[in-house]
């Protein structure tokens, strides 16, 4: 089904260059008697674009008078499928007629160009360069048809630009949803090792969580994604490792992810421990007072996410969707605080994660 055009617009979009079949047949006969070479192009010409315009300009150089046959809606729909053509045939014909390189236009209610060629008997039938070496039944029949009316086959040499590809781009690229992916590190991006970084051999302990990485790659091919990693790292407060070690691990994981074609836009971590938690563990764990806070940015608080967005110059309401990938109740709580979708990655395969999504 084509876009609906009002009667007023249809009435305004008319051209004297658009001929009926009887008019076109008479015009071609007159032109050939005058020694003019009449060229014919045939197609749907939906969403008129520069590739088609260039094709007509090149076609005009191969003849004296260029006639373009525009397929009716039913035949475009039968070839191109649902939603095509975008514009009805009379509007497509008008658009083509507006081009300086095109002398006349007809609207053709024939399934193939073979019938049009037999009816109009042009001097030449002109196709794009991508048809030169084709031997499909359709193009073979067109070559035979133009030969049967004492005409010749000609080809332009312009690069091809497809309306179908333009529509695909509009659908898949311009209308892509913008997702914010909030990702936990330990147990999500990498397999969980309790307090990774406490051992000097921490690099050997890093193992990428492949199903999660594959899932992130899947999401970034389907959507525009902004990816931030937020992790609680109270191992710093516990004096197990330093902030520098946390950042070294982040850098190491980031480098591995880049090799997998996953770019994290911002990394955040909280080295602090909640004062209430420290009080409960008094005498059991020797905490660094520097990192003991009454209020922290630890998950499930969304503060680390807000810090990441501020660093990126973005706002939460810019995104059409927010997904939190994690493996803990803190991650689930973070999702709730962000009004986001939570996907628990624990013991999930790539296919499981896609199903959850």
| Confidence (pLDDT) at 9 | 72
Instruction: Give the whole-angstrom CA distance, residue 29 versus residue 122.
Output: 9
Q: How far apart are CA 10 and CA 192, in angstroms?
A: 65
pTM: predicted TM-score of the whole model, two decimal places: 0.56
pLDDT at site 291: 96
176-356 belongs to CATH 3.40.50.1000: yes
Q: How many CB atoms lie within 10 A of CB 20?
A: 10
Three-state secondary structure call for residue 154: strand
d(CA 25, CA 122): 9
Residue 198 to residue 239: CA distance in whole angstroms: 9
Query: In Å, how far from its chain's centre is CA 27?
Result: 46
Which residue, 75, 4, 13, is CA-closest to 43? 75
Tokens for 52, please give them: 């088609």
- The residue among 42, 38, 100, 102 whose CA lies nearest residue 72 is 42
Dist. CA 116–CA 107, nearest whole Å: 10
User: What pLDDT is stored for residue 222 in this prediction?
Assistant: 84
Question: Residue 2: what pLDDT?
Answer: 62
* pLDDT value of position 306: 97
Q: Which CATH number fits domain 7-167: 3.40.50.300, 3.60.21.10, 3.40.50.1820, 3.40.50.620?
A: 3.40.50.620
Pair of tokens at residue 19? 């001929």
At residue 100, the 3 state secondary structure works out as: coil
Q: Six-digit token pair at 156? A: 């332009």
Q: What is the mean pLDDT of each run of 10 residues along the chain (357 residues)?
A: 69 87 96 96 87 93 96 78 79 93 94 92 94 91 96 89 72 75 97 91 94 95 93 96 97 95 96 93 91 96 98 94 96 97 96 93
Would you say the CATH fold of 176-356 matches that of 7-167? yes
pLDDT at 3: 64
Q: What are the residue ranges spanned by the domains of the chain? A: 7-167, 176-356
Compute the distance between CA of residue 9 and CA of residue 210 in angstroms, rounded to an integer: 56
Residue 28 contacts residue 120 (beta carbons within 8 Å): yes
């Amino acid at each position: 089904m084509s876009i609906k055009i009002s009667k007023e617009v249809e009435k305004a979009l008319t051209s004297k260059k658009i001929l009926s079949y009887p008019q076109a047949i008479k015009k071609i006969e007159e032109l050939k008697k005058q020694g003019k070479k009449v060229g014919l192009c045939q197609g749907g010409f939906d969403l008129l674009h520069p590739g088609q315009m260039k094709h007509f300009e090149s076609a005009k150089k191969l003849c004296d008078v260029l006639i373009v046959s525009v397929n009716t809606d039913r035949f475009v729909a039968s070839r191109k499928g649902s939603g095509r053509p975008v514009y009805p045939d009379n509007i497509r014909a008008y658009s083509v007629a507006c081009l300086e390189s095109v002398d006349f236009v007809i609207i053709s209610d024939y399934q193939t160009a073979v019938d049009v060629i037999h009816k109009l008997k042009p001097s030449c039938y002109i196709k794009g360069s991508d048809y030169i070496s084709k031997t499909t039944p359709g193009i073979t029949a067109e070559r035979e048809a133009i030969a049967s009316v004492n005409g010749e086959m000609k080809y332009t040499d312009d690069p091809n630009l497809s309306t179908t590809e333009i529509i695909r781009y509009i659908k898949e690229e311009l209308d892509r949803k913008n997702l914010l992916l909030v990702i936990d590190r330990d147990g999500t991006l990498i397999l969980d090792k309790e307090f990774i970084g406490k051992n000097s051999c921490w690099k050997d302990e890093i193992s990428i969580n492949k199903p999660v990485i594959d899932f992130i790659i899947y999401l970034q091919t389907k959507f525009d994604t902004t990816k931030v990693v937020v992790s609680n790292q109270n191992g710093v407060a516990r004096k197990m490792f330093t902030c520098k070690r946390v950042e070294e691990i982040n850098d190491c994981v980031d480098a591995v992810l880049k090799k997998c074609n996953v770019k994290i836009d911002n990394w955040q971590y909280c080295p602090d421990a909640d004062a209430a938690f420290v009080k409960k563990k008094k005498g059991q764990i020797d905490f660094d007072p520097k990192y003991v806070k009454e209020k922290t940015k630890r998950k499930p608080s969304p503060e680390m996410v807000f810090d990441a967005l501020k660093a990126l110059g973005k706002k939460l309401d810019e995104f059409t969707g927010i997904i939190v990938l994690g493996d803990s109740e803190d991650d689930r709580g973070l999702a709730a605080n962000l009004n986001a979708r939570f996907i628990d990655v624990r013991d999930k395969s790539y296919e499981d994660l896609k199903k959850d999504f």
